[in-house]
Amino acid sequence: MLRETLLALWSRFPLALLLSRAVAVPIAYTVHELGHALAATLLGDPTPRREGRLTLNPFRHTDGLGFLLGVLLGFGWSRRTVFHPHRMRLPDAPGGALAVLAGPLANAALIALGVTLMGHLGVKPLVPWSGWPTIGEFLTVLVRFNLSVVLLNALPLFPLDAYNLIHYLLPLRAAARWEQVSGWTTAILGSGIALLMLLPPNGYATLTLPVVRWANAVFLGW
């Protein structure tokens, strides 16, 4: 029984994949949060600079538990970048929306860069499983994890980017109603994450692999 459990865990968390994710995850989080911080700063909000978020130091952007889940499960979260649209040169709605969009767009740019590098190097997408990951395998993991960041933030659940984007684009009265459901959306997000964490390896793979394959085919052509 113990041997079967250990083998199942090893098949779920192969060392080469973990090593690749351990590097790819903080890169993706740093790019995402720095995108928010740069956009807000360029629009006139001094908050990100004051909080030390205008940096490539991944420790300023990475949350410990979010990093661990990113490495083990392929999705997680980073430290949220705080900004205040009322301090920007633009009105709250367009300023806040631009700062929100900058995070996923930064990840999308990194995806494009990774795919371009793979094309120039002539390497095909391949998930690392054993041995030391090759450059092609690492780029595969980097691209796929950045895609997971973009797609996760497309869910309209607080505190993800899509929820905040909707909030900034709604009229004031509708935005106030939208804020009232934030707790419910957070509960849905937390329950979904908890469910995935509690699933056995086979159950996790059965549930997530079809989604991963669909996303790779639709957005990456893999």
Of 13-22, 45-54, 85-94, 113-122, least confident by mean pLDDT is 13-22
Residue type present at position 150: V
pLDDT at 9: 53
Give the residue among 83, 81, 64 at the shortest CA–CA distance from 72: 64
pLDDT at residue 33 tops 60: yes
* pLDDT per residue as tens digits for the range 154-170: 999 999 999 999 999 99
pLDDT at residue 5 tops 70: no
Task: Report how many helices (DSSP H) and strands (DSSP E) the chain contains, helices first.
Answer: 10, 0
Confirm if 82 and 47 have CB atoms less than 8 A apart: yes
When computed from its CA atoms, the radius of gyration of the chain, rounded to whole angstroms, is 19
* pLDDT per residue as tens digits for the range 198-222: 888 788 888 898 999 999 999 999 9
Task: Please give the backbone phi and psi of residue 116, each rounded to the nearest 5 degrees, phi first.
Answer: -65, -45
What three-state secondary structure class fits 78?
Answer: strand
Q: Average pLDDT in the 138-150 region? A: 98
Q: Average pLDDT in the 50-74 region? A: 96
Confirm if 40 and 103 have CB atoms less than 8 A apart: no
Confirm if 140 and 125 have CB atoms less than 8 A apart: yes
Q: State whether the Cα torsion 196-201-65-216 is positive or negative.
A: negative
What three-state secondary structure class fits 46?
Answer: coil
pTM assigned to the model: 0.92
Percent helix, strand, coil in the chain, to 5, is 75, 0, 25
Give the start-end residues of each E strand in 64-181.
none
Question: Around Cβ 17, how many Cβ atoms within 10 Å?
Answer: 20
pLDDT at residue 145 tops 90: yes
Question: Around Cβ 199, how many Cβ atoms within 10 Å?
Answer: 15
Rounded Cα–Cα distance for residues 213 and 124 (Å): 15
The residue whose two tokens read 């995935």 is 196
Q: Average pLDDT in the 16-44 region? A: 98
